[in-house]
Amino acid sequence: MRLATLRTPGGNRAVRVDPDGCVDLGAADVGELLGRDGWAGIATAATGPTYPRDGAEFAPLVPRPGKIICVGLNYRNHILEMGRQLPDFPTLFTKYPEALVGAGDPITLPAESQAVDWEAELAVVVGAPVRRATEEEATAAIAGFSVLNDVTARDWQYRTTQWLPGKTFEATTPFGPVLVTPDELPGGVRPTLTMTASVDGEEMQRADTGDLVFPPVDLVRYASTLLTLRPGDVIATGTPGGVGHARKPPRYLTDGARMVTEIAGIGRLDNEAVR
């Protein structure tokens, strides 16, 4: 099943994305839908109204998650690219909802930064409350997966040892276009999918999401040790090698650049960078 937050003339609507249209699910967005008991049954049983898929404009999948937990250094090749050792525990930081934009929206290059980089990521979307989860509980709490690009202002990220300033500039982070439930993906809650990112038609990143050091179930377990994860919360699982900051010389997004982020079996983000 594929779910999305669709922009309509009457406002955002949570929809099931079918081959022949987008079926209204009676909620304003996917985050609201996931907060309802039995959300999967509601989404499966819905019959309309239906919106056309042609020309559909998708908002951020969950427009205002309660939490966006991001994972750094979680692909083996990216860890080695950055000259670091494989970690014993996940590196966690946060992002705020103001950073999110839709799958086809422009991303804003902050005037304060001259080093804005791309980071293609698999996003986990939580579908049930969970705290100190067992492996079974963590598995059941994963509603599905989406695509996110953790666009990063490197000069702000490395101002101090705390990464947050470079990670959450407003209107920089595309997220969507859909949530795909684990039953539709090879590997289920441990998906093995090809992920790519390109800039102006040149491929920059390519990885298999099965190369994660800490896979989705482990991340849900670890994060839920700290605090309760709730429906609509998002975990961005980290980026593979190929980021612009690691290139020699470094390469960053410029005004008018087109960044395309795609995960096979889930979907595609297509965003223009604007200053």
pLDDT tens per residue across span 124-154: 999 999 999 999 999 999 999 999 999 999 9
The mean per-residue pLDDT over the stretch 101-122 comes to: 98
- Cα–Cα distance for residue pair 45/25, rounded to 1 Å: 9
Is the separation of the CB atoms in 172 and 274 below 8 Å? no
For 7, the token pair is: 């922009």
Domains of the chain: 1-59 (no CATH), 60-274 (3.90.850.10)
DSSP class per residue in 116-161: EE--EEEEEEE-S-BSS--HHHHHHHEEEEEEEE--EEHHHHTSSS
pLDDT (0 to 100) of residue 164: 96
Q: Residues near 244 by Cβ (< 8 Å), separated by ≥ 6?
A: 117, 118, 199, 204, 250, 251, 252, 253
- The count of C-alpha atoms lying within 13 angstroms of the C-alpha of 210, restricted to the half-sphere facing its C-beta, is 9
The mean per-residue pLDDT over the stretch 253-274 comes to: 98
Cis peptide before 49, with omega less than 30 degrees from 0?
Answer: yes
- Cα–Cα distance for residue pair 210/42, rounded to 1 Å: 31
Cα torsion 36, 38, 43, 47: sign: negative
pLDDT (0 to 100) of residue 114: 97
Residues of the chain above pLDDT 90, percent: 95
**pLDDT tens digits along 203-214:** 999 999 999 999
The pTM for the full model equals 0.96
Q: The tokens 């040149």 sit on which residue?
A: 202
Per-residue pLDDT at 30 exceeds 80: yes
pLDDT (0 to 100) of residue 80: 76
The mean per-residue pLDDT over the stretch 45-67 comes to: 96
Is residue 107 classed exposed, middle or buried when 0-12, 13-18 and 19+ CB atoms within 10 A define those classes? Answer: buried
The mean per-residue pLDDT over the stretch 206-234 comes to: 97
Per-residue pLDDT at 187 exceeds 80: yes
Nearest in space to 90 (alpha carbons), one of 81, 79, 99, 80: 79
At 136, which amino acid appears? E
3-state secondary structure of 94: strand
Q: How open is the CA angle 200-179-152, to the nearest 5 degrees?
A: 40
